Amino acid sequence: MTGANEPGAAMKALIARLYPICRSITGEGVRETLGILCEEIPLEIHEVPSGTPVFDWVVPDEWVIRDAFVKDGTGERIIDFQAHNLSVVNYSRPFKGTLTLDELRPHLHAEAEHPDWIPYRTSYYQENWGFCLPWNRLQAMGPGPYEVEIDAEVKPGSLTYGECFIEGRSAEEVLVSAHCCHPSLANDNLSGIAVAVELIKGLMAAKPRLSYRFIFIPGTIGSITWLALNEARFPSIKAGLVAVNLGDPGIMHYKKSRRGDAPIDRAAAHVLKARGDHRIEDFSPYGYDERQFCSPGIDLPVGCLSRTPYGRFPEYHTSADNLDLVREEALAASLAAFREIFAVLERDGTWLNLSPMAEPMLGRRGLYAAIGGRSDTKDRQMAMLWVLNQSDGRHSLLDIAEKAGLPFALIADAAEVLAAHDLLAPAEGRVL
Amino acid sequence: MTGANEPGAAMKALIARLYPICRSITGEGVRETLGILCEEIPLEIHEVPSGTPVFDWVVPDEWVIRDAFVKDGTGERIIDFQAHNLSVVNYSRPFKGTLTLDELRPHLHAEAEHPDWIPYRTSYYQENWGFCLPWNRLQAMGPGPYEVEIDAEVKPGSLTYGECFIEGRSAEEVLVSAHCCHPSLANDNLSGIAVAVELIKGLMAAKPRLSYRFIFIPGTIGSITWLALNEARFPSIKAGLVAVNLGDPGIMHYKKSRRGDAPIDRAAAHVLKARGDHRIEDFSPYGYDERQFCSPGIDLPVGCLSRTPYGRFPEYHTSADNLDLVREEALAASLAAFREIFAVLERDGTWLNLSPMAEPMLGRRGLYAAIGGRSDTKDRQMAMLWVLNQSDGRHSLLDIAEKAGLPFALIADAAEVLAAHDLLAPAEGRVL
Amino acid sequence: MTGANEPGAAMKALIARLYPICRSITGEGVRETLGILCEEIPLEIHEVPSGTPVFDWVVPDEWVIRDAFVKDGTGERIIDFQAHNLSVVNYSRPFKGTLTLDELRPHLHAEAEHPDWIPYRTSYYQENWGFCLPWNRLQAMGPGPYEVEIDAEVKPGSLTYGECFIEGRSAEEVLVSAHCCHPSLANDNLSGIAVAVELIKGLMAAKPRLSYRFIFIPGTIGSITWLALNEARFPSIKAGLVAVNLGDPGIMHYKKSRRGDAPIDRAAAHVLKARGDHRIEDFSPYGYDERQFCSPGIDLPVGCLSRTPYGRFPEYHTSADNLDLVREEALAASLAAFREIFAVLERDGTWLNLSPMAEPMLGRRGLYAAIGGRSDTKDRQMAMLWVLNQSDGRHSLLDIAEKAGLPFALIADAAEVLAAHDLLAPAEGRVL
């Protein structure tokens, strides 16, 4: 038995364990991360060789980073990869030399608006090198010279990703994607991974109707690679969610799929609304891997579920996106939202009222309060009446819940009770 | 000649005459009520035998109530059916005995929130008996014992309803339904009956285009019975209204049919908007007999027109829904709203502009102000221009009225004037 | 080279030159006006004989006005056509006589609400005569008698209009209509003419994709005449604007075509929104010649672009609609709005993303910022992503601009850049 806070604590603990690893879009950091996940869930690890063409892209060479620093005249590491892996521009090419501040300055990245935080910078596809540091530290740097070294390598290898498939009674799939390419950033990346792991554990125990596929992939190139290798699966994918930024204290956000009215869009909107303060946003071609899933030739029904979205919290892509930003209760609430959305996908369907001429006599079946008169409408009774009235084969349970202004679960429960009394039957073609 | 208030007074007088009768879903109370209506309108009385199957239901046995009381130790009737017919639970089965308050209490119904009012309770389909009384009187009752008697019977008989058909030039029908099963309740029940009677009188004099069918039926089982016996009529029913709660001082409400966009829905919304403060509500499967008319296998275009809807006035289903609650001017205004809605149904139609290339020269026909220049747009002129511009066979007069933001009657008048000048012809298939 | 204010100044100068001419729906005033336009643009002049049937109308006889006055006992002209051509009711029939004020009064038009202004009145189709004068002057008039004379004639002649066609690469036409029938009124009439002339000059220099047809016509009878003579052109007319009231200081207004969702409606709404404070209105069958272009049998996609619409400025149809009301900067801004709308019509189209599976690698093509990380979304980058994401053959560039919330020009520029990199191709059938 787990207590109410235990999923939150377990997710936070996993995040804390993964936090120090220096991940990138390729390399040992991703492998180490996925290896830890393998301790918790059955994860299939894929390695895709550098140079593999994937749509308009090519799998890049692998980045190896061993050390990186800038030393001042006293030999002190004033910028030190060992102290914080954001200190080096991700995918920096190797460099060694002695430079004045003027020479070094074009390779230094700092942000004046948050003078104590280290920003996160990458240079995957342009050969370059650089360091990131707090603005205050940059301001304190003298004219030099400085001893500068980046002990790194970019060489043929592979791109690594993990995949976990939970087979349901139906071949229809729900895809959940979490990126695993960010170094020490807690909310943007690790929170999504941790929620996905907890979801997998629950689904494996639950024997769901639908099948679920979770992928842990490097952002952009990872999702493009997965898509290029999995075109045959597209027709089976009936819904999907990009899981990201799920531990911060902000309200829940759902960004719709490109289609805008896919079942996942309606399910997520219904659940978030019932859960309280939230925001639903239209698709836009920026953000996380929904950009790829929703490109025009692919157009999968994949939305993005997060707390605070891409780039909208001040700590985003800085050293302040750390373990303090991620809260156990926020992670637990995010997990619950995912599970409720899955419950809608699992239970939604279209039913037929088998007694459609006038209302059936519910009282005779013990489904109705026996003493009538003074209006005493119970939500449960209303749910039954709504399901009966709307089950003409043209309205799904979610349609009915929206029209009735009642929670989906209440409507779905009513349908089950009515079906048990032979007043309702599933419309053809549905896997139960 | 009748004065402006006379219809209100006539309706109020009818309500006062019907008020004392103890009606139920079957029995002498309904027969006596319909007998009184027969004095005013040509009403066909139908008797449907107990045991007749009607869709998922069966016509119940008939209820006979002769007397009912609770006497205290002094022999005084402290609860007395003779004093108020709400005092006995409607459809109570016979009972006779001497009971302490503790034994009697489960059979007593009172409402603390309105301590001086008798609530209205029924138990049609569950064998039971009971009394209703003001909360204050219940609080004053001693431990007993009490002499208790319900002199009633439930035995094979029939369900009674009345029907009045006014044949128009077209076989298309408008259905108006009023329930006639409530005992001494004035607004919820009798107001609908009284307005329906007045509407019938007016329509008989008016020789309408459409045919009108009025049914006076017990709630729920009565409408179900009528529907089961009249399936062949469904295709002819082009519009319908449940008439209820038409005498209270609240604003007008229209609850849409299940279809939501039927001609009756649009006509009612247009008329209520033009008449002032009002409210339009979406269909929901609760309330009055629209529940049955709008069940998914029947789905007739029937809405519900009322002042304060089902269950929303404090006097609802209590002894306070009495003659004081029902106002002559409210009845008269309700009647007027019905008539205006009927007028829209009567006059709406699609016309064809016979001079559709540019505007026809209205001035030549005396249809236009002769001296132009300074903008002096009259509504009547605008109505003509709107009708001409939109009469391409795709817009009905009601469509045009809505688009123009002008009253329907003005638009319909303009169409008549234009037709008289051979600028407009009815689109095919319309009965004029 | 022209400075920023030059088009405004040129338009104002043309208006000032045209202002004194006494125009009507036929006659020398129109001919003189169009003759002046011929000095600036290649204008084809058409004469349509009186008596020519045009749809439901007939081209009227021509009005000749030589002089008109009311003299008091001292011989002074207290109402004088020579002083202001609004002083005579337009199309007044000849009259000569000596009248008391009581006899003259039915023929005098004045407006109490603007006591110093001369109102504008016409009587084209009803044989009548009259004078217009300021209210204050009317109040000062003694009992008479007065010497009254209108030296005018109504006799067979012709209706005159001008047409200018600018041939583009495509046979699809944009129609621009300006009425030229008002006497000394500056905003209502002359402003539309002046903007149209400037547009023609620009288009002749620009070699546009679309063809443009400008017509300078008398209101109502002129547009009806043009339509009756040009039915064969209707299928080519893909968009149109009535140009009117373009010099007053009010905000821009666009009144939609009868269709409501034609490309011109969407283009105008997009441009006005991007330009600032404005108002979009639904079509109504009143106002200017859009009444004729949008009659149900013609139904061309023609809207009306103006600053303050028909009848809504106090100076409307009075002597106060003079040169003071018309501002150079308002004329210049109106011209710019037309040009931007034309630019949308010229550049809008549907494209196909040639690399639709996931995003193409923009960085490789130098289309993307090289250093990623911290969110630094530029509008230009977003425009490219939106165009790529939505170019599936179902969204035009204007659709994309609306969805993206970005200016049309930015989206169209992005499409051009992407096409230059072979990432985009025009959907079939488009003239480029």
CA distance A51 to A64: 17
For an interface test with B, the pick among A354, A357, A371, A377 (most B C-beta atoms closer than 10 Å) comes out as A357
Residue A363 confidence (pLDDT): 85
More confident residue, B363 or A231: A231
CA distance B133 to B144: 16
Instruction: Please give the residue of chain B at the shortest CA–CA distance from A354.
Output: B297
**Matching residue, tokens 């109106």:** C334
- Say how many Å lie between the first and final Cα of chain A, rounded: 28
- Would you say residue A338 has pLDDT above 60? yes
Residue A373 confidence (pLDDT): 46
- Region C78-94: mean pLDDT is 98
CA distance B418 to A385: 49
Instruction: Please give the residue of chain B at the shortest CA–CA distance from A356.
Output: B297
The chains in contact with chain C, meaning 3 or more Cβ pairs closer than 8 Å, are A, B
Best CA proximity match to C38, nearest among C165, C184, C212, C164: C164
User: Which CATH superfamily does the domain covering A62-155 fall into?
Assistant: Domain of unknown function DUF2172 (3.50.30.90)
Residues A268-309 pLDDT 10s: 999 999 999 999 999 999 999 999 999 999 999 999 999 999
Cα–Cα distances (Å) from B261 to B258, B301, B407, B413, C406, in that order, read 9, 9, 19, 24, 36
**Class of C349-426 per CATH?**
mainly alpha
Which pair of structure tokens corresponds to residue C374? 């911290």
Contacts of C261 (CB under 8 A, 6+ apart): none
Taking a C-beta distance cutoff of 8 angstroms, is the pair B394, B352 a contact?
Answer: no
Identify the bridge partners of residue A372 per DSSP, sorted by sequence position. B122
Best CA proximity match to C258, nearest among C302, C289, C305, C227: C302
Percent of chain A whose predicted confidence (pLDDT) is above 70: 96
Residue C376 confidence (pLDDT): 39
Q: Where are the alpha helices (DSSP H) in C243-301?
A: 263-275, 290-293
Cα–Cα distances (Å) from C181 to A143, C217, C324, in that order, read 79, 7, 20
Taking a C-beta distance cutoff of 8 angstroms, is the pair A189, A120 a contact?
Answer: no
CA distance B363 to B371: 10
Burial of A96: CB neighbours in 10 Å, binned 0-12, 13-18, 19+: exposed
CB of A260 within 8 Å of a chain C CB? The answer is no
More confident residue, B44 or C368: B44
The chains in contact with chain A, meaning 3 or more Cβ pairs closer than 8 Å, are B, C
Residue B377 confidence (pLDDT): 54
**Amino acid at residue number C375:** S
- Region C405-412: mean pLDDT is 95
pLDDT bracket for residue A376 (50, 70, 90): very low
Q: Which of B358, B386, B391 sits opposite C292 (nearest CB)?
A: B358
The whole model's pTM is what? 0.91
Residue A331 confidence (pLDDT): 98
CB of A107 within 8 Å of a chain C CB? The answer is no
For residue C224, the tally of other CB atoms under 10 A from its CB is 27
Element (H, E) at A80: strand A77-80
pLDDT bracket for residue C372 (50, 70, 90): very low
Cβ–Cβ gap A374/B317 under 8 Å:
yes
Alpha carbon B332 to chain centroid, angstroms: 14
Identify the bridge partners of residue B88 per DSSP, sorted by sequence position. B131
Strands in A108-251 per DSSP E: 108-109, 121-122, 131-132, 146-155, 158-166, 173-179, 211-217, 237-243
Query: Which residues on C lie below 8 Å from B389 (Cβ)?
Result: 258, 285, 291, 294-296
Cβ–Cβ gap A55/C357 under 8 Å:
yes
CA distance B172 to A33: 73
**Class of C6-60+158-346 per CATH?**
alpha beta
CA distance B162 to B37: 9
Among left, alpha and beta (phi > 0; psi -120 to 50; other), residue C358 is: left
CA distance A233 to A214: 13
Which of A:111-170 have CB within 8 Å of C? 111, 119-126, 128
pLDDT bracket for residue A369 (50, 70, 90): low
Residues C42-73 pLDDT 10s: 999 999 999 999 999 999 999 999 999 999 99
Same topology, domains B6-60+158-346 and B349-426? Answer is: no
Query: Which residues on B lie below 8 Å from A359 (Cβ)?
Result: 56, 220, 224, 285, 291-292, 295
Taking a C-beta distance cutoff of 8 angstroms, is the pair C283, C260 a contact?
Answer: yes
SS3 assignment for chain B? CCCCCHHHHHHHHHHHHHCCCCCCCCCHHHHHHHHHHHCCCCCEEEEEECCCEECCEECCCEEEEEEEEEECCCCCEEEECCCCHHHECECCCCEEEEECHHHHHHHEECCCCCCCCCECEECCCCCCCCEECCHHHHHCCCCCCEEEEEEEEEECCEEEEEEEEECCCCCCEEEEEEECCCCCCHHHHHHHHHHHHHHHHHHHHHCCCCEEEEEEECCCHHHHHHHHHCHHHHHHEEEEEEECCCCCCCCEEEECCCCCCCHHHHHHHHHHHHHCCEEEECCCCCCCCHHHHCCCCCCCCEEEEECCCCCCCCCCCECCCCCCCCCHHHHHHHHHHHHHHHHHHHHCCEEEECCCCCCCCCHHHCCCCCCEECCCCCHHHHHHHHHHHHCEEEEEHHHHHHHHCCCHHHHHHHHHHHHHCCCEEECCCCCC
- CA dihedral over A14, A15, A16, A20, signed as positive or negative: positive
β-strands A57-58, A108-109: how paired? unpaired
Q: Where are the domains of chain A?
A: 6-60+158-346, 62-155, 349-426
CA atoms within 13 A on the CB side of B416: 10
CA distance C342 to C264: 9
For an interface test with A, the pick among C389, C394, C418 (most A C-beta atoms closer than 10 Å) comes out as C389
Instruction: Please give the residue of chain A at the shortest CA–CA distance from C360.
Output: A56
Q: Counting one residue from A and one from B, how many pairs have CB atoms under 8 Å apart?
A: 97
Query: Which residues on B lie below 8 Å from A395 (Cβ)?
Result: none
Which of A:219-248 have CB within 8 Å of C? 220, 223-224, 227-228
Residue C97's φ and ψ, nearest 5 degrees, are: 175, 175
Taking a C-beta distance cutoff of 8 angstroms, is the pair A313, A248 a contact?
Answer: yes
CB of B357 within 8 Å of a chain C CB? The answer is yes
Q: Which of C296, C310, C317 sits opposite B353 (nearest CB)?
A: C296
Encode burial over C273-290: b for 16+ CB neighbours within 10 A, e otherwise: ebeeebeeeebbbbbbbb
- Region C310-321: mean pLDDT is 97
Query: Which residues on A lie below 8 Å from C359 (Cβ)?
Result: 56, 220, 224, 285, 291-292, 295
Contacts of A96 (CB under 8 A, 6+ apart): A148, A149, A150
Residue A5 confidence (pLDDT): 61
pLDDT in tens, chain B (432 residues): 344 568 999 999 999 999 999 999 999 999 999 999 999 999 999 999 999 999 999 999 999 999 999 999 999 999 999 999 999 999 999 999 999 999 999 999 999 999 999 999 999 998 999 999 999 999 999 998 999 999 999 999 999 999 999 999 999 999 999 999 999 999 998 999 999 999 999 999 999 999 999 999 999 999 999 999 999 999 999 999 999 999 999 999 999 999 999 999 999 999 999 999 999 999 999 999 999 999 999 999 999 999 999 999 999 999 999 999 999 999 999 999 999 999 999 999 999 999 999 999 998 888 865 444 444 357 889 999 999 999 999 999 999 999 999 999 999 999 999 999 999 999 876 655
